Chain A
């Protein structure tokens, strides 16, 4: 544990040392909103003066790390002192029971938030596109890999389904089966979703077949 002045710029932004520029942008936005003026999260723990000091440090960290040149120089200076945290097994001494360590992370991913804003669209009759399926899956926090494991469907096909990449998918009868298993796996009304998805699949594959034939005739 360190004081504000002891923390590295990376620690201020809560990312591993040496993180790439894109990661710095993302992390800065998250941390900045956490410490916003009059923000809910600092309430009662920090007074305005202390919170301002943290905000200034966050800004400084961002200024240094968001420019390739200054970042490079900072990374060079940081290198020798930076070491991995000591995470060895912990010897605990609770009086009342033997203690076990809750060390497994079960943190939310930022993608799971984006999915919240689309939560309302599940109940409607709007058509089921690949991206709507993806959002429904993300809301439930289920990985594609896990679905592949349960349904025994090749994960690449699941990806194609979510990306509406119809041309790379097999024949309609298989795709329908995939969509049914996929939706059942995330707890959606599978027949309705599959009907809606397959209507678009047929329409678009028919369209592309027509285009192809026209081109061949020329």
Chain B
């Protein structure tokens, strides 16, 4: 990171952090990658979309946010910029989600689209969107619109299982959105259900079915597949075996989904992380030299590099 150059990006780069299971470290990574990039000189906004269990603000030392996403959803405020909170860290803004009227809190699809395009217009370099747990359609949509989609997983079967559930849901949703013809769209939607009547059991079956229905849509399908490139981060690794999980998941996704998944990095299991959250501060504020802080820097460095390569054409 120290070797990176932190000039300002022409447009905010949206980084969505998701990954199925709760408690694997999505919020930890959102908050701390955001903070790490701020330390390197970038301007960053962290957004909490986990309306049912928000705590991004806690990691960033903001005790009780005065404004929140709920104000945008309810229409009390239409300018996203006006909802940003300052954090104790210069250059790092927060759009919090707070406990409120839960029923009213989840935005409908149109409002969500407005929110997402507003986030891209924010005057900063990176926007981190903490997606929350589960594979709910709203969560998936937040994940899909990111310029980068980071999937956080733990080296344990429950997390691996939920990660695949998440990738599967995101994959089918992505493909459905890419299709233009109504009947093809329907086919993709039905294929999401693994026990569908069309006999489609895998992404490959689906591709073949789409190709048969309409060759042009088939081409679009495989091109969209190539562009669908989630990044995996393995959190709380304790052994070399755990680290290798990232490579293995990559291999399995290639063969099962036919998609490329990048292994963006790992963070070790580190007591320093616990002491930092108890202090309600980003890790690097409390233990800048800890191993976990070093690994975070490495991942942040890669994100910065990918952003600079993406260039100003966007």
Contact = CB atoms under 8 A, between A and B. Distances in A.
A55 to B, nearest CB: 11
Interface string A107-127: 110001100110100100000
A3 interface: yes
B231 A35 contact: no
B25 interface: no
B120 A97 contact: yes
Contact of A96 (B141, B178, B207, B237): B141
A40 interface: yes
B112 interface: yes
Interface string B198-230: 000001100100000000000010111111010
B147 A102 contact: yes
B224 A90 contact: yes
Interface bracket on B: 35 or more
B180 A142 contact: no
B310 A113 contact: no
Contacts of B155: 40
Main secondary structure on chain A at its contact with chain B? loop
B131 to A, nearest CB: 15
A106 B306 contact: yes
A101 B297 contact: no
A14 B258 CA distance: 12
Given A34-B248, A95-B177, A105-B262, A100 B160 contact: no
B62 interface: no
B24 to A, nearest CB: 14
Nearest to A42: B252
Interface string A85-98: 11100111111110
B301 interface: yes
A92 B120 contact: no
Contacts of A31: 251
A33 B263 contact: no
Interface residues of A, number: 58
A104 interface: yes
B245 A40 contact: yes
Interface stretch (A60-68, A145-153, A167-175): A145-153
B186 interface: no
A65 B146 CA distance: 40
B130 interface: no
A96 B140 CA distance: 13
A33 B251 CA distance: 10
A119 B294 CA distance: 10
Given A45-B164, A92-B178, 17 more contacts: A31-B251, A33-B248, A40-B157, A42-B252, A45-B256, A96-B113, A96-B117, A97-B116, A97-B120, A100-B147, A102-B306, A107-B263, A107-B264, A116-B266, A119-B268, A149-B3, A185-B3
21 contacts: A1-B258, A14-B251, A30-B247, A34-B250, A34-B252, A39-B248, A41-B251, A45-B256, A86-B223, A87-B226, A90-B223, A97-B117, A100-B314, A104-B310, A105-B260, A107-B263, A117-B240, A122-B291, A149-B3, A150-B3, A187-B1
